[in-house]
A and B are shown apart, each in its own frame.
Chain A
C-alpha cells in the first residue's frame, strides 16, 4: 500500500497549510512506516522546490482546469482505492475511493463574521462532508477539535489532536550586526519594529493593528516601525491603511519572506503582534516565541492552549485593547524579558519532527485497520 498525499497546497509560494505539509514531508524522511512509497500528487511542477523523504516522489496530474476540478475530479480518478489518501487541507476529494485522512486547521464556522457569506455557505458543506467522509480527522488544537464536533457533528473518537511544531532553525541568534542589517534591509533604517507575519485574513484584524500601532506611536512618541509580511488576498492594502492612520512612513509591507529570511526577521524585531480572532493553531506566534521574540496574541481559540502564560493575550482585537497590550509590553523591559524566557521554554515543547512522527504513525494506524 502506498501513502498518497494531496499536494495541491504545495503549489506557489507556501504559507499556512503549504508550510504544514512541507514540514511533515521533511520530518518523514528516514522514518519507518508500512507504506511502499509516498506519492505526492500535484497539478504541476512546484514553483518552489521541496525536500522530499527518500521514499517519496512527486506525481504530476496535469489538467489545466481549476484547483477544485483537480482536487475533486482529477485526483480521485488517479488515486488508487488500495492506497491511503492524506489530505492536509480541510477538504478531501469526495469521490475518492478507499480510506482518507484529513487535517482540519480550524473551523471557519466558529467566526462567521470573518468570512463572506458565499464562502461560508460553500465551505460549510464541503468541509462538513469532508470531515464526515474521512476515516479520521487530524486537527491542530483542542479548541479546533471541539468546533469540528460542534459544527460538523463528527464524533470525538474520529478526531486526533496533533498540534503544530516549530522548526529548530527558529531560535535566538544573538548577532547585533545581522539584526541591524535585517532592519536596514526590510525597514530602510535601523529602528526597532513590531512584526506581523501571516496571510492578511479578515479575522487577523490588520486595520485594528495598524490603528493601534499608530495610536501608541503617536501617544508615546515611539521610534518604532511596523513590518507586515504576508499575502493580501482581500486587498486590504497595508500601506494605505498606514497612510490613513498618519503612519505611512513607519509601516512597511512585504508579500512574502522565505524561511531563512523569517528566522532573521524574528530575530531583529522587538515585538510580535498577531491579533487573530480565531486560529486553529497560530503557528507564527510559536515561531516568534522560539526566536525569543515577545508576542502578543488574543485570548481565544488555540492561543489559550499553547501561548497562555508565554505570550501576552489581549482580550480582543479592538484598537483600544491592542493599543493597551502594545503599550504594556513595549514600556516594560522586565515584562519583555520574562515573556522571552517563558516563550523559549514553551516553544521547546514543540517540534515538527515529533509532529511528523505522530502524524505518520496515525496514518499507519488508519492504513492497518
Chain B
C-alpha cells in the first residue's frame, strides 16, 4: 500500500479514509503500508516543515505496520511536477528490502499522483499488478499540470483497476484517460461504531441545523448562511451549528468572512461557530441535530453525509459531485448548488418531516451499503480480479 496521505504523529487526520480502509483490508489479507513524508534538513525555524522530522521511520498504527521513508519535496505545489520521481527514489530501497521477506503480489496506491505514478514504476519492476484508488477529481487539476497529467494517464492505463470514490470522480478520469472497464467506483466507508444514533426514543434538537467540514469557499457555508436568512423570519427558533475549521490561512480568512456575513445577514445569535472537534464530538453533534447540511460547490464524495446517516440524521446536500451517489430520496434531499432558496426550502421540508426519517432506517441504509468492513471486502474482491490471469497475457 502506497499512500502519502496517511495519518502520522504530525498530521493525525491526513488520509484518515485510507487508514480506515487499510485497517479493514488488513483483516482480510497480509499488507504493509509505505507512507512517505517530506524530507527536511534540521534547519532552525521553518517549524512547518521541520516538524516532519518527528515522524518515526517505522511504526505500528492501529494494528497496521507503517513505514515512513523520506522523499524530497518543496513547499506547496512548487515541486508538484517532480514529486513522482522523488517519491519513487524515496521508497525504492525500502520496497526492495521489504520484498525479501514480504513477497507482495499487488501494489495498491492511493491517489493517482504521485503515489499511483511511483507505484506504476514499482509494479513494472516487480511484475505485479497495480491498483490505484483516486480520492480527488482530475478536473481542473489536470489542466494546470500537463506533465503530471501525462504521467497520471500512463499510470492509469497501466493499472489493472483504477478505483474512484464516486461516479463524478470516475467521469473526470475517463475524460482524460479514456473510458474503460478498468475504471471502477467504490465509495468511502463509514465507521459505524463511532457514528451511532441516539438511543431508541431519544429525540434530536428540533431546530438544530448542522454543518461539518473545512471552512473553505468550496464548502459553500456562505450559501448556507443565505439560506438561513431566508428561514429566519418564519423559523426564529432554528439554529445553525458550524463544526470545522482549517489548517490554512485561506480557511481562517474564510471563517472571518463568514462571521462578518452572519452580521450582515442579521443572523446574530442563530449561528454558532464551534471550531474543529474530535470525531467523537462530531458524532454527538450529528446525532442530536435535526438535519445535516452539505452546501458544497464541489465534493468528490462527502463523507460527512454518510456519518450523519449512520447517526440516524437526514441530510440535505447539493448536487456537486459525490453526494449524488449517496443521497437517495428516502434519506434526504439533493438541491442545486449555490441556490439559497432551494437549500432553505429543502432544509425546511426535512426538519418539518423529521419524524418520518426514522433514524434506524437511515442508519441501516448507511451501514448496509457503506460500512468499512463491506467496502474492504469489495476492495479485496477487486484485488482478486486484478490478480486473475487475463486472456492474452499480462495486462498493461
Q: Is the CB of B360 within 8 A of A178?
A: no
Residue of B nearest to A177 (CB): B342
Q: A177-B341, A177-B342 are in contact. Are A51 and B335 (CB under 8 A)?
A: no
Give A178-213 interface residues, CB cut-off 8 Å to B.
178, 181, 185
Q: Does B330 make an interface contact (CB < 8 A)?
A: yes
Complex Cα gap A49–B358 (Å): 7
Q: Is the CB of B361 within 8 A of A173?
A: no
Q: Is the CB of B355 within 8 A of A178?
A: no
Give B330-344 interface residues, CB cut-off 8 Å to A.
330, 333-336, 339, 341-342
How many residues of B are counted as interface, with CB atoms below 8 angstroms from the partner's CB atoms? 21
Question: Would you give the shortest CB distance from A196 to chain B, in whole angstroms?
Answer: 19
Q: Is the CB of A173 within 8 A of B360?
A: no
Question: Would you give the shortest CB distance from A125 to chain B, in whole angstroms?
Answer: 38
* B333, B339, B341, B353 — most chain A CB neighbours (10 Å): B353
**Chain A 251-270 against B: per-residue CB contact (8 Å), 1 yes, 0 no?**
00000001111011000000
Q: Does A54 make an interface contact (CB < 8 A)?
A: yes
Complex Cα gap A258–B362 (Å): 13
- Residues in A with CB closer than 8 Å to B358 are 48-51
Q: A48-B361, A49-B361, A261-B330 are in contact. Are A177 and B355 (CB under 8 A)?
A: no
Q: Is the CB of A264 within 8 A of B342?
A: no
Residue of A nearest to B345 (CB): A175
Q: Is the CB of A177 within 8 A of B329?
A: no
- Residues in A with CB closer than 8 Å to B334 are 181
Q: Which of the residues B201, B330, B345, B352 comes within 8 Å of A178, measured between beta carbons?
A: B345
- Residues in A with CB closer than 8 Å to B346 are 175, 178
Complex Cα gap A318–B335 (Å): 41
Question: Would you give the shortest CB distance from A364 to chain B, in whole angstroms?
Answer: 23
Complex Cα gap A260–B361 (Å): 13
Q: Which of the residues B335, B349, B352, B356 comes within 8 Å of A259, measured between beta carbons?
A: B356
Q: Is the CB of A177 within 8 A of B352?
A: no
Q: Does B254 make an interface contact (CB < 8 A)?
A: no
Give B356-379 interface residues, CB cut-off 8 Å to A.
356-358, 360-361
Q: Is the CB of A260 within 8 A of B357?
A: yes
* B329, B333, B341, B361 — most chain A CB neighbours (10 Å): B329
* A48, A168, A178 — most chain B CB neighbours (10 Å): A178
Q: Is the CB of A169 within 8 A of B356?
A: yes
- Residues in B with CB closer than 8 Å to A168 are 352
- Residues in B with CB closer than 8 Å to A260 are 329-330, 353, 356-357
- Residues in B with CB closer than 8 Å to A51 are 355, 358
Q: Is the CB of A178 within 8 A of B333?
A: yes
Q: Is the CB of A258 within 8 A of B330?
A: yes
Give B314-337 interface residues, CB cut-off 8 Å to A.
329-330, 333-336
Q: Is the CB of A49 within 8 A of B335?
A: no
- Residues in B with CB closer than 8 Å to A263 are 349, 353
* A49, A50, A258, A260 — most chain B CB neighbours (10 Å): A260
Residue of A nearest to B357 (CB): A260
Complex Cα gap A108–B358 (Å): 34
Q: Does A26 make an interface contact (CB < 8 A)?
A: yes
Complex Cα gap A181–B352 (Å): 19
16 A-B pairs within 8 Å (CB atoms) are namely A48-B361, A49-B361, A50-B358, A173-B349, A175-B342, A175-B345, A177-B336, A177-B341, A178-B342, A178-B345, A181-B334, A181-B335, A258-B329, A258-B356, A261-B330, A264-B329
Measured CB to CB, the residues of B under 8 A from A are 201, 329-330, 333-336, 339, 341-342, 345-346, 349, 352-353, 355-358, 360-361
Given contact pairs A169-B356, A177-B342, A177-B345, a sample of 18 additional A-B residue pairs in the complex whose CB atoms are under 8 Å apart: A48-B361, A50-B358, A51-B355, A169-B352, A169-B353, A169-B355, A175-B346, A177-B335, A177-B336, A177-B341, A178-B333, A178-B335, A178-B346, A181-B335, A258-B356, A260-B330, A260-B357, A264-B329
Q: What are the 5 A-B residue pairs with the smallest beta carbon separation, nearest first?
A: A49-B360, A175-B345, A177-B342, A259-B356, A169-B353
